[in-house]
Amino acid sequence: MRYPIAIEPGTGTTAFGVIVPDLPGCFSAGDTLDDAMSGAEEAAAAWIDATLDAGRAIPTASSLEALRQRPDYAGWTFGVITLDPALLDDAVERVNITLPRRVLKRLDALARAAGESRSGYIAHLTLEEHEA
């Protein structure tokens, strides 16, 4: 999936700035354009992940032409970042894990105490850790 970006040119004393206008508040900066672009991809992936975790919809991408016409980006350069479509994939996938029996007993007890299934509890812990 591709999202347009607006690039504010850097100078000898300021970093390059990159904004992903379709993802409100998503931006990056870097001493080089490559660093700023790479940071924008990372920021967009994190933005999408957090938005999905919050149960909100992901905005569709605007066209580069629409972005170029916006007066607030006069003098900026434009480009695109490409994100892995798997970021949007919430399909359930069955996995097989191996744990010592004593660890599995603890896991199941913690899941029961939390009122969750084993899988739900593992997912909950993972998402909770990701937010920290």
Would you state the pLDDT for residue 63? 93
Residue 63 has what DSSP assignment? Answer: P
Is residue 132 scored above 80 in pLDDT?
Answer: no
List the domain boundaries for the chain: 2-88, 101-131
Model pTM score: 0.70
Locus of tokens 């916006």: 70
Q: Decide which of 3.30.465.10, 3.40.50.880, 3.30.160.250, 3.40.50.2300 is the CATH code for 2-88.
A: 3.30.160.250
Task: Note the pLDDT tens digit of each residue in 1-42.
Answer: 899 999 998 888 889 999 999 999 999 999 998 999 999 999
Helix, strand and coil in the chain, % to nearest 5: 45, 15, 40
pLDDT of 48 higher than 90:
yes
Q: Tell me which residue has tokens 């994939």.
A: 89
